[in-house]
Amino acid sequence: MGWSLIGRYGEDVETTERRKSSVGTLPLKEKIKEIAHSGAGFFSIAFSIAFSVLKYVLVWMYSTIMWGIRNSREIVVYKRGGTVVRTEEGVNVVMFFAGFMVVFICLAIVYFLLTFMSIFISLSVLLVIPYKIVRNYILHM
């Protein structure tokens, strides 16, 4: 944080202040570089990346759900007594919930991966013990 208060080496304070004010409009990669160069710690950079990715994920979820809702209006065509009947007042329920289902399936996959990785990490400690026993046996032969 020290260099961000007095400006970077070789830059005047006004240039640094202009860059700080435009951080909100920078792309993700430039925003992370700016935070890293300002002297931020590991957690600040990690939270910056996490919140930037979360913003894109939330926008994707909203657009996917709205895609399904927008495309749920359909022209219903069916035959009644040999005549083709068309109406524009139908709602395709499957298409209405398609966006929700895509989002829920992706969330379930992420939840499964997080659960699997937490189980794998907790069991990896148990795998170290036989490895060290075999390694010590081979080293001390």
pTM, rounded to two decimals? 0.50
Residues 113-133 have pLDDT tens digits of 989 988 888 887 777 888 888
Better pLDDT: 17 or 47: 47
CB 46 within 8 A of CB 37: no
d(CA 121, CA 109) in angstroms, rounded, equals 18
Give me the DSSP letters along 83-100: EEEEEEEEE-HHHHHHHH
CB 68 within 8 A of CB 98: yes
| Average pLDDT over the chain, rounded to an integer | 76
Residue-level pLDDT at 123? 80
Residue-level pLDDT at 112? 94
Q: Tell me: pLDDT of 85 over 70.
A: yes
Q: Is residue 22 helix, strand or coil? A: coil
Q: Tell me: pLDDT of 7 over 50.
A: no
Better pLDDT: 53 or 38: 53
CB 54 within 8 A of CB 43: no
Cα 88–chain centre separation: 37
Q: Residue 115, class by beta-carbon neighbours within 10 Å (0-12 exposed, 13-18 middle, 19+ buried)?
A: exposed
